Copies of this chain bind each other. A is one copy, B any other.
Amino acid sequence: MHSGDFYRNGKFAYKLHQRDIKRSSRLTFRVSIQDKIIYTITKMVQNKSVNFVEVPTGYPVKDKTMKLVTGEIDLEQKLEDGAVIVKVLYVSIDPYQRGRMRDASIKSYAPAFKLNAPIDNGGVARVVKTANSSYKEGDVVYGYFQWSEYQVISPQEAKALRVVENKEGLPLSHYVGALGMPGMTSWYGLTLGKQEKGKTAFISAASGAVGQIVGQLCKRRGMYVVGSAGEDAKVDFLLNECQFDAAFNYKKEGPRDALKKYCPNGIDLYWENVGGETLDAVFEAANDFSTIIACGMISQYNTTEPYGVKNIMNIVAKRIKMQGFIVLDEFDGQWVQDFFAAVPGWIKNGEMKVKEDIAEGLENAQDAFIGMLQGKNFGKAMIKVAQE
């Protein structure tokens, strides 16, 4: 907004002086002459998003499967009662999103992404405009957000937001990882299997967002904890920071041999993140009456030729309970209170370690997502969309 000639519908209207322009809010300007408002100009704000544009075969391809687009948003728009506008701070990158990159006619537990619309996922955002009495401007909220800088959250969607209190003053990124969906997944998932002192827990993808918390929770509960990861640096993190009893690089030592070596007393609790060959090896190494908590099978998400699991008969022979779950089904339990009463404090006082892999800006979201599917991230993968 500068002074100068002012045109209306392409036609010269009047000479505009700076004194005629008044900012009535952060983004709206009123143009008035002799105190008569002659025009209200809303500054449309640039709004970058990452859209889903094509169903991939195998791994997603940058700028083919997804596309970074720049749109505009009117941050001063009149909101429907109950709606809010948020500025996204962090959004999560998770393996299960690969499953949403499918033809919408195929049903699954999570809805398919809409073509030519932004990808969405869990994240943390700041409320910048509110027509909902549950959220005030400036609140940090946790919820499902688009991979966009700004967005309008409908009254219906707004009901699912949760205000982040963060009494401990932790980095807000933790509410996408250890204190967000992945951390809650770890806590809830472990309600499905016994954690007994001295018994062996094995966790695949153990340095990842969920695995690192699962392992540390099992350690706290007195178990002998073994993890697998795909890089030596991740193995070091598990051993030295998360205090696992053993960890191995499955690319260097095949899971079958490694489990014999590192789980000398067999496996009592397996946290399944990867599927495929590792799962087959676990069926061999599992003890009678063991539990497999099936959280995901990342090795299978990008393949058109799924691995054929050959040792599944052990479910009968060893009386194994294998249980799949999705944490979203169980969000109303007492366990949510238990989780928030315990974990933030442990992170604050350093008893629990958190490793994050943060990509800066939506410009880097595609590389980060594809890299995560290839196991290149080290710790909880997410995008920092804007400064806190």
- Residues of A bordering B, CB below 8 Å: 99, 108-109, 272, 275, 279, 288, 294-297, 300, 306-326, 329
Contacts and interface: CB of A to CB of B under 8 A. Distances in A.
Contact of A310 (B99, B306, B317): B306
Contact of A315 (B108, B316, B324): B324
A312 B313 contact: no
Contacts of A326: 316, 319
A88 to B, nearest CB: 27
Contacts of A296: 316
B109 A312 contact: no
A294 to B, nearest CB: 5
Nearest to A291: B323
A313 B275 contact: yes
Contacts of A308: 307-310
A295 B316 contact: yes
Contacts of A311: 306
Copy number in the complex reads 2
A316 B288 contact: no
A109 B318 contact: yes
A226 to B, nearest CB: 21
Contacts of A318: 109, 324
A281 to B, nearest CB: 14
Contacts of A294: 315-316
B324 A320 contact: yes
A79 to B, nearest CB: 35
Contacts of A109: 288, 316-319
Contacts of A319: 109, 323-326, 329
Contacts of A307: 308, 310
A254 to B, nearest CB: 17
B309 A312 contact: yes
28 contacts: A108-B317, A109-B317, A109-B319, A272-B316, A275-B312, A275-B313, A294-B315, A294-B316, A306-B310, A306-B313, A307-B308, A308-B308, A308-B310, A309-B309, A309-B310, A309-B312, A315-B323, A315-B324, A316-B324, A316-B325, A318-B324, A319-B323, A319-B324, A319-B325, A319-B326, A320-B323, A321-B321, A321-B323
A279 B324 contact: no
Most buried by B among A279, A300, A323: A323
